[in-house]
């Protein structure tokens, strides 16, 4: 038995590196190098400036409007996501900033959600934001509530809150599905300023026509860096932009190369 295993090992052709995966290795190492450069190079971080995003510039104005009108601010992350989705995490980052401003302005705040885990995390995020603002006594845990796991049960509950409370400002940031237009139209009917954002291309169309400001696609993910000014987050955004430029250049070169169609195949592994 031992001899047969030895013969098998000696006769086997062991491949330590698959040359077909070399482009993947090069791309991975290049991506890591760009992220590290953007994160740790001070000069690179100091020169970097994000373009202005209208929806995020309007956050403080929306909260101030709710305070002046003595009407609440409503924030909901949508029905389509759970706590593991990138859109939900991005929504929590924005919630932290919004809650801190609400604490400073002493505005009423309502946060309905469809998921008990999201509810618990949101309670802790808002609690920390109120404490960071210096007003921990203004935090009301019951304002962050679970309503229903059913899609249209959740939509009906949030729609009812909007109709009864008539919030001056509404934040629809997260993962939305068919309930998006229901909530956006209801918010529009009560005259609320609405700031919306999601990564769903289908639901973005409804937000664009029914809301005042819409964060399109990755603007939602860059929002936490934009609002907080955290240089580490801004550096990661810069690294993504550099990688996008490189990918675009690579696609242009690939199209030209395919058009020329060289006969030699030395470049193929």
In the predicted model, is pLDDT for residue 48 greater than 50?
Answer: yes
Q: Which two tokens stand for residue 268?
A: 């193929």
Q: What is the mean pLDDT of residues 62-72?
A: 92
Q: Radius of gyration over alpha carbons of the chain, in Å?
A: 25
Q: What is the pLDDT of residue 235?
A: 78
Element (H, E) at 74: strand 73-76
Domain 54-228, architecture per CATH: 3-Layer(aba) Sandwich (3.40)
Q: Are 269 and 19 in contact (CB under 8 A)?
A: yes
Q: Are 32 and 239 in contact (CB under 8 A)?
A: no
Taking CA 242 as the corner, what is the angle to CA 237 and CA 246, rounded to the nearest 5 degrees? 145
Neighbouring residues of 62: CB distance < 8 A, sequence distance ≥ 6: 73, 168, 169, 171, 193, 195
| Cα 35 to Cα 241: distance, rounded to the nearest angstrom | 10
> 116 pLDDT band (50/70/90 cuts)?
very high
User: Domain-by-domain residue ranges, the chain?
Assistant: 54-228
In the predicted model, is pLDDT for residue 34 greater than 80?
Answer: yes
Helices 179-189 + 151-165 axis angle, to 10: 10
In the predicted model, is pLDDT for residue 8 greater than 60?
Answer: no
């Amino acid at each position: 038995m031992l001899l047969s295993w030895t013969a098998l090992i000696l006769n086997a052709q062991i491949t330590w590196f698959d040359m077909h995966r070399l482009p993947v290795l090069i791309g991975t190492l290049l991506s890591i190098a760009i992220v590290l450069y953007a994160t740790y190079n001070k000069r690179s971080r100091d020169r970097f400036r994000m373009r202005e995003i209208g929806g995020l510039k309007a956050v403080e104005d929306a909260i101030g409007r709710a305070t002046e009108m003595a009407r609440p601010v409503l924030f909901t992350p949508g029905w389509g996501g759970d706590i593991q989705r990138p859109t939900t995490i991005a929504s929590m980052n924005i919630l932290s900033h919004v809650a801190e401003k609400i604490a400073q302005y002493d505005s009423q705040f309502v946060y309905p959600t469809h998921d008990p885990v999201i509810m618990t995390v949101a309670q802790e995020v808002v609690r920390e934001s109120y404490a960071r603002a210096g007003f921990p006594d203004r935090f009301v845990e019951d304002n962050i509530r679970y309503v229903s796991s059913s899609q249209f049960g959740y939509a009906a509950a949030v729609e009812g809150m909007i109709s009864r409370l008539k919030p001056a400002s509404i934040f629809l940031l997260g993962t939305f599905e068919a309930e998006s237009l229901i909530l956006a139209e209801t918010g529009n009917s009560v005259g609320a300023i609405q700031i919306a954002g999601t990564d769903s291309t289908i639901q973005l169309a409804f937000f664009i026509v029914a809301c005042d400001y819409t964060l399109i696609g990755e603007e939602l993910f860059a929002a936490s860096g934009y609002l907080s000014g955290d240089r580490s987050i801004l550096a990661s955004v810069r690294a993504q932009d550099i990688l996008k430029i490189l990918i675009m250049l690579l696609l242009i070169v690939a199209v030209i190369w395919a058009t020329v169609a060289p006969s030699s195949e030395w470049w193929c592994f």
